[in-house]
Amino acid sequence: MQRIAVMTSGGDAPGMNAAIRAVVRKAIYHGIEVIGINRGYNGFIEGDMWPMNLGSVADIIHRGGTILHTARSEEFTTPEGRAKAYKNVKRFGIQGLVVIGGDGSFRGAKIFHDEYGLPVVGVPGTIDNDIYGTDYTIGFDTAVNNVVDAINKIRDTATSHERTFVVEVMGRNSGFIALQAGLAGGAESILLPEVPFDVKEICDKLMRGVKRGKLHSIIIVAEGAASGLEIGSKIKEITGFDTKVTILGHLQRGGIPTATDRLMASLLGAKAVEVLMEGKTNKVVGIRASETVCYDIEEVFNNTKKDLNTEMLELANILSI
């Protein structure tokens, strides 16, 4: 293997830069050249790619976002779009591809491999942590820390005014961010897409808390479980409490990646290069019990639902009584 390419695709996640850096430096260490593809599959189709060197990834390990930019590409979902991308594979002499992104991006990679035979490896990069087969995805830890930081600030004002706060966080299909940030932030209730909930019960709990002298309450709502605004107005209607709603939105994706995200990204990026060097394809790299692993890309698609940690779920209920 003499030349590989790397791209970031789908939703951006803090720590993607650390992964790009690891791919580039690990490859160059082994005498492999690296082509950076800008704007995900769009840049692949358009030939928006450039040779990277050690200096190309200098001073990026601590920066959020992705220096290669990212995109969602409608055209790559068509055979015509992928044929254009293949022309660039030939033109640039690419012998392997590392795709840093979510399961959608992995699907694109697999289809491209199956059509054109280019070895592909996926590196899980998404703040949602919802990729099957890996304990962590790049960006998740930073997102959780961003939410906890916001909860801390909201808690100050909530205590001062004796108010109830509803905080809506990201997670359309999965409650990983809500659960971990809710537990770490000491939330009273955590609403997750995976677990049915009853607003009446949440309100009963709030009222019991007030009776025992609680000064404030914070309720975390994953966007896939319910709308924060709706939950806020229902709580206000049932309890009569002054209830404020904060939607954290894209704040959660931004900022300096945490040490954990940089570490995971570095390990995963380097592992992806190793996997390509071993002649493997249609693989995803991941972390299980603090060790890097490599598994079949199909596992991500066949087991779309990654289970929440039940111990954390039970504990969240016990600690918020």
Residue 244 phi, psi dihedral angles, 5° rounding: -110, 150
Quick one: which of 69, 107, 214, 236 contacts ligand ADP (CB under 6 A)?
A: 107
Which of these is catalytic: 12, 103, 128, 261? 128
Q: By the 8 A CB rule, do 298 and 148 touch? A: no
Q: Pull the structure tokens for residue 105.
A: 């991006």
- Closest approach of Cβ 174 to ligand ADP, in Å? 12
Nearer to ligand ADP, 111 or 251 (CB): 111
**Least distance (Å) between residue 11 CB and ligand ADP:** 4
63 alpha-carbon distance from chain centroid: 16
Burial class (CB in 10 A: 0-12, 13-18, 19+), 309: middle
Per-residue H/E/C for 152-207: HHHHHHHHHHCCEEEEEECCCCCCHHHHHHHHHHCCCEEECCCCCCCHHHHHHHHH
Of 76 and 136, nearer to ligand ADP (C-beta) is: 76
Among 76, 86, 136, 176, binds ligand ADP (CB under 6 A): 76
Q: What is the DSSP code (8-state) at residue 16?
A: H
Contact status: 101 vs ligand ADP (CB under 6 A): yes
41 binds ligand ADP (CB under 6 A): yes
User: Site mask, ligand ADP, residues 117-146, x = CB under 6 A?
Assistant: ---------x--------------------
Q: What 3-state DSSP class applies to 245?
A: strand
Residue 203 beta carbon to ligand ADP: minimum distance, rounded to whole angstroms: 36
- Candidates 98-106, 138-146, 174-182, 277-285 — which segment interacts with ligand ADP by CB under 6 A? 98-106
Question: Is residue 12 flagged as an active site residue?
Answer: no
Residue 108 contacts ligand ADP per CB under 6 A: yes
- What letters, b where the CB count within 10 A reaches 16 and e where it falls short, cover 68-96? bbbbbbeebeeeebbeebbebbeebebbb
Q: Which residues are catalytic?
A: 128
Residues of this chain that bind ligand ADP (CB under 6 A):
9-11, 41, 72-73, 76-77, 101-105, 107-108, 111, 126
